[in-house]
Structure 1
């Protein structure tokens, strides 16, 4: 899959009164280079309409578009890929359904990461690194898991969960060269500026931590 650094995920509850596509466009303009539609609350028809709008937006900017959970919607709107949780459709079954599209999967332990790599995931999510409202009740994997994945996993991974501008540097120092943020991006009044600040940190981290810069 295409290289990426800043992964933006939707969360409409974080920006009441602001239109979804407008917020995600600001994220893209700020440097987000992959976008995921994640909606655990709306019915299927509403999710489909949002997927159509975001597919149009991401095509305009040539940014990969990922749909969380809804494989059928991803196929209907010709999304670039899907993202799965540990309790979702098994990765081999999903691969049969989506063919060569991108498949990402959330992981919370090295055994899950190794299995995802073995089964052909295109990337994995590593988290939640810190406590986060978007994964209420999930135990943080901490920076130790980020370090373990950086050492043992060869496919792309993206650190996610409770990552903010104030703690991004330590996540990058642990070996992450790709970061995902949800509320810190879409819940910020300055979405574009926040993304630009994350990109600067990733660029500085890549220089400071050359061991991981080529991953």
Structure 2
């Protein structure tokens, strides 16, 4: 297994609103070819059975590229599909994630405060999703946090963190010095005409402005 810190470099999160006539597999394949290092399958409105079937197909794609597949919020689909992990928001966080860890799952947790970050670390979370740093084009109710808050969160725990929320090729450089291990992107990747090219460009920017700090 690779170092989780390296896998977080360019964390792609799917959104079927950006498929634009493509299948989910086609869109994910382009992102993988472009160099994404971790992929989260996010399906808020898909029926459970369809979500599971899709997760199994995407898992096979990710395995071909040795990229971990994370399932958003749905623990059952994560386990049944053979995905590598699950990402949980604060409202979806169980009292204990020990059982998930025992099954070998990577567990990511959303954190907007230092207290949430420390609690997630104590529970055994493998990484944190910190934001929204620039608002969010895909999550209208996302609560923004300041860069100072982001830095405080990252400095308060040993668990690596990715910055999320409106991150794109134009503003990645603003995240220098926040002690993030990578960025999570949705529209900056999947709402682009050339997804593969967008992924490659984003990866280069993260390596230049974030991984060197």
TM-score, with structure 1 as normaliser: 0.91
SS at match of 1:46: helix
Query: Where in structure 1 are there 5+ consecutive unaligned residues?
Result: 210-215
Distance 2:197 2:95 in 1: 36
Distance 1:157 1:166 in 2: 20
Q: Indicate the residue corresponding to 2:205 in structure 1.
A: 201
Count of aligned pairs between the two proteins: 208
Distance 1:208 1:80 in 2: 27
1:175, distance to aligned residue in structure 2 (A): 2.7
CA RMSD, aligned part only? 1.6
Alignment partner of 2:183 out of 145, 156, 179: 179
Going from structure 1 to structure 2, the CA distance change for 1:207 and 1:179 (only over 3 Å counts) comes to closer
Q: Indicate the residue corresponding to 1:213 in structure 2.
A: none
Q: Is 1:10 aligned with 2:35?
A: no
Q: Is 1:46 aligned with 2:46?
A: no
Would you identify which runs of 4 or more consecutive aligned residues in structure 1 move more than 3 Å? none
Distance 2:95 2:36 in 1: 26
Query: Where in structure 2 are there 5+ consecutive unaligned residues?
Result: none
Distance 2:29 2:13 in 1: 12
Going from structure 1 to structure 2, the CA distance change for 1:206 and 1:167 (only over 3 Å counts) comes to closer
TM-score, with structure 2 as normaliser: 0.91
Q: Indicate the residue corresponding to 1:95 in structure 2.
A: 98
Q: Is 1:109 aligned with 2:113?
A: yes
Going from structure 1 to structure 2, the CA distance change for 1:192 and 1:158 (only over 3 Å counts) comes to same
Distance 1:51 1:208 in 2: 33
1:157, distance to aligned residue in structure 2 (A): 0.6
1:97, distance to aligned residue in structure 2 (A): 4.1
